[in-house]
Structure formats: structure tokens, C-alpha cells
Structure 1
Amino acid sequence: MGRHLWQMAQRLARGFQHGKKISPVPWRQGVLAGLIMACLGWANVANASDHADPSNLMGPESNITDLFFFPDGDRLVLIFNVRRALSTKPPYDLTPYTYEVNLDLTTPVSFDNPADVARYGGTVTAPAKLHADAKVRIRLNNDAGLDRIDYEGLQNTADIRTSFGVRDDPFNFPRFYGVNTISMVMSLPRSAFPAGQKTFILWGTTAKDGMQIDHVGRSIRTQLPRFGFLNTIAPNQQLPALIEHSMRTNDLYNFLKGNKQWWSGALADLMETTFLLRKYDNQPDVMIYTDQFKVGYPNGRLLTDDVVAQTCATGDCLLMDLSFIEGGFPRSTTNDKPFLSEFPYLAEPWPEKPPAPPPTRSLTPYIVAAVILLLLASWAVVQGLRFILRHLWQVVRNIYALATT
């Protein structure tokens, strides 16, 4: 539905209908304003991954929070977390979902572009060839314990150490202090991978009934509003999707920027800062780790990495701003609980809190719809008054003309 709204708004912005030029009459501008508001609202309520995304309220166990990957001695540690802001005791609703981490061991990665290295850990030189050479597929019980784990493409799996359950949420952000997450921790021997393997490309997904719901690659990326649409797209298809999305949003942005209406400039500014893709965004959303460089974001991710500050250093500061708004000054740069120095690394969970009333349905779509209807109603009233005043003025002019002849 969101895509169809974008296409309708794009068609009006371009000013063509059946191949003919459309004049920018007021009713079309009003409809376009409503469509753009709907598009922006839809982008905000779409399912997305990472902590600060709009949550899937009816299925929060599908929401990914974090992906970590780092070496510890002669082993590699993989941590995959879901279900943000957890503060209640089991049972949860975990059994319908499949949690999967994919590892691409062969697609080439270049480290020649300093900007890409700083933002993504490297450059995937052939994004269309991204694939999973190895997989870890997990099903959990509703008490957050393991139901089943399957390995594909990994060797020596008997030496893989695992831990599943509720742990402290390791994300350093004020909103998630004092709450827990559901964590899947794996310590893999180097012998699980081909001899001499130095570079890894990773991403995680959640799915239900075979349909992908959420995706995570590089930290915080799909949390940003402009990337929410990537969550159901496979990494090898993300570059074409990014290019197509950029073309659609640029058409609307250029129209809004060139329009003299007050609302148009305001929406253009909102699009530019929040929804418009940047020139450096055309990389698939994956995590890159290589032994060639020191571990730590964006080269893999450590539990202690302050990714809010690190992503802000390369241009994405949404969470940095929010961390000051919600947490005050000085901003905390460490987790609210110390991490463990050994497996399973994450801190013990926080005590349970009384459960909040279960959500029934997100109010956000209704709020967005109300705003759109209010905008269109206000525009209709103004246009009606303008029509009446013009008609009355014409009547007055006609009467005056008759009286003076």
C-alpha cells in the first residue's frame, strides 16, 4: 500500500496524466499534500529493525534489536538479540518465529574507500552476488529457551557453545536502561569455517510462516526512517531497491522544493532530513568483519561499542540527539550494567516489572489518517470560501456595472 501511495504522489508531482501536462491547480496540490503526508506516515509505521524503530506491537518478539560479532581468543562470538524493552516474565510468543543469522564467506569486500570503511566496514564490490555460505537457524520456546538450532555450511558444530534466554539489553541508550532482551549467544570455533577465513559478511532476519519480517546488518542502519523499507528485502536485492526508492523520493522532493506553497517547503525539509536517501547510502545493509583491522564498529561490533556516537560521526545523528533529550547531560557512553568478561558476555537480566496492558492496535495509523483528513478538510474549507468570495465579488461588480451605465 505504501508503495502505491508513493507512485500516486510521484505521478502528481511529475505533472503528467496519460502523457499530457497537468497544470498545478489547487485541488491537485491539496491531494498531493495528503498523499505525501500518507507516504511519510506509512514509512514511519512500517515494521523495522533495531531499538528505535516503530515496533510491531502485535508481534514484538519478531523485532530485532542487535547483532554483534567479534573474536575472543581462537573463537568468534555471535550475539543476536530480539524483543526490545522486555520487563515481564515468560511466557512470551516466540514459537511462531524463525531467527536466522547468515554468513557470506566468499563475496569480495574492498577496503580501498575510506568513507565506506568508516560507514560500513568496507565496500561490498558485487552486491548482487551476496549469499549465505553458512547459516544458523534458531527456534525458541516461549520461555526463551532453545527449541531447535540448525547449522548449514559450518564444520565442527559439536564445538559450538550456545546460550539462550533473557539478558540485560546491551544497547547503550537511555530509553533501554533497566530493561531486558531475548538473547541468542553463540561462540564458534575458527574450525567451523574454512581454513584461513579472514573476512565475514553477516546479516540477521526474523520470519514467520516463511515470510521475512525484520532484518539487521550494520548497527542502527535500518532503524533510520529512510531505510525502513529494506527490512523485508534480501541483501542481494537491496541495491536496486535503494536506487528505485531514491528516484521516487527525489521526484517528490524536487517538486516540493520548487513549489511556493508553505506546506510544500515544510514537507521538503522533512523529506530532506528524514526520508531522502543520501549519496553514500547505496550499499547493502550487512555487517562486515575482517581480521585485517582492529575489531570494533564498523569492523564487526563489540558489546562496548558506542554505536550511537560512532554512526553520528559519519552523518546519522538521530539517536545522538535523542540520547541527550531522553538522558540529559553528560551523555552516558557505557552500558547500564557491566558486561561479563567471559561467555555468555551479556549482563544478568533486570528484575521483572508489572506487565503493562497488552497493546491492541497501534494508534499511529489513525493519528496519521486524522492529520491527513484535517489537512484535506482545512484545504477544502479554504477553497470553498475562496470560491464563494470570488462569486460574491463578481456579483457585486456586475451590480455596480449595471448601476453606473
Structure 2
Amino acid sequence: MSDAEVSFGTTARPVSSGACTFFAGSRSDAFFFDYDGIKNLFDTSGGRNFTAPHLGGTSPWTGVDSNLEANVFSMALEVPTSELHDDSEIRVWGRCSVRENGRLIHADRAGHPSVSSFFNTDETKLEYNAGEPVNDRERWTDQFVHLMGHTGNYTREEAIAAIDADRILPDMLVFDPSKPAQYPNGRVFTDDVINYRLSFLSKGDIPPTGLEPHTDLLSEFPYLGNPHAKTT
């Protein structure tokens, strides 16, 4: 595929080559989370990030989906499952880079949803985003273990076992095509990955947010809903 049109309007304009289909453009963001509730839950002052959840008192959740009318600039690629070889796993990660003074600066990367956001501090996020998964386990295991000791009272052994069970390090999303897609085996748009991550961090002590997946998802490619109209 080459010279694919980028869709900025409400009509998606995918292109196909053989059994593969590609799309790039503006879409409704499927990610749902209670941002104000997360701010109520964690004290992030002083660069501490998500290390001190306030548990045991009034529920932090507001019931408001902060992304209900958000749009996202997206790329989607549809490949037949038969091309993935159902006897082996695939691992996926991606990065966003921006051009600055003639150089590409690695500004963000992700494999597992929300791992970079919750496990990094202001001091480490730039290094994390500039890195690559091949170095993750050696570089970041101790920091992840330390954080989980604060958020869920994990011992070192328990934290490493939990990290290994979900295969968080290296930070690549694992998908086994022979099994149903549901996080942490891949991810679908209706997966509540924030509830999953908060439960993981707190060893099950943080209550669910109560939010529901977005209802504007499409049953056909590119699956993300039409973009919301801009408001003034």
C-alpha cells in the first residue's frame, strides 16, 4: 500500500491490498476513563506520580467519562488471523516521534495500555519513551517492583510474579491468535484497561470505576466510531 488518503471527515476511507486493509485519520476515541477520579485517588504532587492511592474512604470515582466526546488521530490495519499463524504469539509495540531541530525525538511509546503512564515518574518518562523493549527488563524491573510495593504492598517476589504473569516487561502487547482477544491477551476496544491496571497495581483493592465502553463503535473496519463534531 502507498499514498493512502488520510481521512479527516466523518467518512472513513480505507484502502485494501489483497486481504489486508489500512486506514489513517480522525476517529472517535474508544478509550474510556474517569480522569478526575484518578486525580482523587492518587496524590501526584511533587512528581510522585501514582504511588500513594487513597483507599478505604469515600469512593474517588465521579462517574464521568473524560473521553466521551474525544477524538483520536488513528491508524488501523486489518490482517487475516490466518496470516498470524495460530501456533505462535505475536508481540506488538509502537512509538510516536516528533521532528525537532531536524531530529526525530521519541516522545512516547506503548505496548501494554497505561503501563507507561502509571509506572513512570516525571523524571523517568523521557528515558522510558526513548528506550526500546529489548532493554526493558534489565532497566525497569526494579522501578516497577518499587512502585508496586507502594500501591499494592507487593513483596519483590510477588511483584515480579505478577509482572511475569501479565508479561508486562518487556513492554510489548502479547497476542495469541489461538485464544480469545481480551486484555492481557491482546486488547479490544471494550476492555476496561484502566480498571484492570488499577486492580493490578493495588492487588485488587481499588474498586471499579463503573464506566461503560463507548457505544459508537462500528461493527466493520475501522471499528472506531465517526469523529465527534468540533465544538467552539
Could you say if the C-alpha distance between residues 352 and 316 of structure 1 is closer, same or farther in structure 2, counting changes exceeding 3 Å?
farther
SS in 2 for 1:201: strand
- 1:170 aligned partner, one-letter code: A
- Deviation of 1:159 after TM superposition, in Å, equals 3.3
Aligned to 2:134: 236
| Aligned-residue CA RMSD (Å) | 4.0
- C-alpha distance in 1 between matches for 2:197 and 2:142: 25
Q: What does the per-residue CA deviation read over 1:12-63, in whole Å, with 9 as the maximum and x for residues that have no partner?
A: xxxxxxxxxxxxxxxxxxxxxxxxxxxxxxxxxxxxxxxxxxxxxxxxxxxx
> 2:97 aligned with 1:207, yes or no?
yes
Q: What does the per-residue CA deviation read over 1:227-264, in whole Å, with 9 as the maximum and x for residues that have no partner?
A: 634222100011121146579xx6xx9xxxxxxxxxxx
Q: More relative contact order in 1 or in 2 (CA 8 Å, sep 6+)?
A: 2
- C-alpha distance in 1 between matches for 2:194 and 2:106: 26
Could you say if the C-alpha distance between residues 296 and 196 of structure 1 is closer, same or farther in structure 2, counting changes exceeding 3 Å?
closer
Match of 2:118 among 216, 220, 224: 224
Contact 1:246–1:277, Cα closer than 8 Å, also in 2: no
- Deviation of 1:157 after TM superposition, in Å, equals 5.5
Match of 1:286 among 172, 177, 182: 172
- C-alpha distance in 1 between matches for 2:151 and 2:128: 18
Gaps of 5+ in 2: 10-14, 34-64
Aligned to 1:296: 182
Aligned to 2:53: none
Aligned to 1:178: 69
SS in 1 for 2:66: helix
- Deviation of 1:312 after TM superposition, in Å, equals 2.6
- 1:230 aligned partner, one-letter code: Y
Q: What does the per-residue CA deviation read over 1:139-182, in whole Å, with 9 as the maximum and x for residues that have no partner?
A: 997969xxxx9xxxxxx964321111111110012111111111
Which structure shows the bigger proportion of residues in strand conformation? 1
- Deviation of 1:273 after TM superposition, in Å, equals 4.1
SS in 2 for 1:311: helix
Q: What does the per-residue CA deviation read over 1:83-124, in whole Å, with 9 as the maximum and x for residues that have no partner?
A: xxxxxxxxxxxxxxxxxxxxxxxxxxxxxxxxxxxxxxxxxx
State, as a whole percentage, how many aligned pairs show the same letter. Answer: 21
Could you say if the C-alpha distance between residues 169 and 232 of structure 1 is closer, same or farther in structure 2, counting changes exceeding 3 Å?
same
Aligned to 1:334: 213
* Alignment of structure 1 residues 252-263 onto 2, 5 Å: none
Aligned to 2:46: none
- C-alpha distance in 2 between matches for 1:246 and 1:310: 16
- C-alpha distance in 2 between matches for 1:183 and 1:297: 20
Which structure shows the bigger proportion of residues in helix conformation? 1
- 2:94 aligned partner, one-letter code: G
- 1:285 aligned partner, one-letter code: D
SS in 2 for 1:240: helix
Aligned to 1:345: 223
- C-alpha distance in 1 between matches for 2:66 and 2:142: 34
Aligned to 2:61: none
- Normalising by structure 2, we get a TM-score of 0.61
- C-alpha distance in 2 between matches for 1:197 and 1:205: 27
- Normalising by structure 1, we get a TM-score of 0.37
- C-alpha distance in 2 between matches for 1:234 and 1:241: 10
Residue-pair matches, total: 177
Structure whose CA Rg is larger? 1
- 1:167 aligned partner, one-letter code: R
